[in-house]
Amino acid sequence: MNQFSISEKIITVYPGHSANLPVVYLNTFGDSGEAVYRQLETKRGLDFHLVTITGLQWNHDMSPWKIPPIAKGDTPCTGGADAYLKLLTGEIIPKAERFISGEPLWRGIAGYSLAGLFAVYSLYEADLFSKAASISGSLWFPGFQEYIADHPWREKPSCVYFSLGDRECRTRNPFLKVVQERTEKIHNFYAEKGIHTVFQINPGNHFQDEAKRTAKGIRWISSQ
């Protein structure tokens, strides 16, 4: 394991068991990256390199554009995804890959909640990622379904994973209650474009089994 920081982001590189493996980038909240790594680790080690990034300004770095608070007492999303993506692709990824052996077989991007939204958004605004996992992704985000329909990928992904908890849409919040409907529509859009994709439903609400669900999504894209 190697760790470094750039612009107050803390990056941890968990190397795989050999050279010339894929690299999966996981944007995380708090210390959840370590928990995901523990879910993924096997006796043989990882069959890909895992890079986790934390210390994010969550509602800024992970949101593609500004929206007001979606509930009383909530904080607004302030649309810093483009600036963070520039930092990720221009500084974080080059430095992280100095700690791995050989050349990346491919790069994937994964995330939970708003980071799941950011993972999908990255496919349209960067050309480094060929696989993505959006786990309990905030695909309810206003205007995002329309954005996907109107924008080409920078690099057409080879596969994309989507998942939600089966209770995530059971809410009175008008934004969050459409999350399953919109995720299904985005998944179907990808499938119609010939992209290998899956949409899995897990038991529980948005806050249940985050590390386990995230590891499940990463395992799926790494096996395709």
The CATH code for residues 2-223 is 3.40.50.1820
Q: Which of 131, 75, 77 is nearest to 105 (CA)?
A: 131
Q: Is the pLDDT of residue 97 over 90?
A: yes
Give mean pLDDT, residues 98-102: 95
Q: How confident is the model at residue 43 (pLDDT cuts 50, 70, 90)?
A: confident
In the prediction, which pLDDT does 113 show? 97
148-185 tens-digit pLDDT = 999 999 989 999 999 999 999 999 999 999 999 999 99
